[in-house]
Amino acid sequence: YPIVTYCQDSPKLCVGTRTGVLALYDLKTPKYQACQAHPKNEVISCVEFSPDGKYLASYSAYEGILYFWQ
Burial level of 64, CB count in 10 A (0-12/13-18/19+)?
Answer: exposed
Name the pLDDT band for 12 (thresholds 50, 70, 90): very high
Mean pLDDT of 25-49: 90
Question: Does residue 11 register a pLDDT over 80?
Answer: yes
Residue type, 64: G
30: CB partners within 8 A, 6+ apart: none
Calculate what percentage of the chain has a pLDDT beyond 90: 67
What are the structural domain ranges in the chain?
Answer: 3-69
Please give the pLDDT value at position 57: 96
Please write down the long-range contacts of 6-11, taking CB distance under 8 Å and 24 or more positions apart.
Answer: 6/49, 7/49, 7/53, 8/53, 9/51, 9/52, 9/53, 10/53
Name the pLDDT band for 8 (thresholds 50, 70, 90): confident
Name the pLDDT band for 68 (thresholds 50, 70, 90): very high
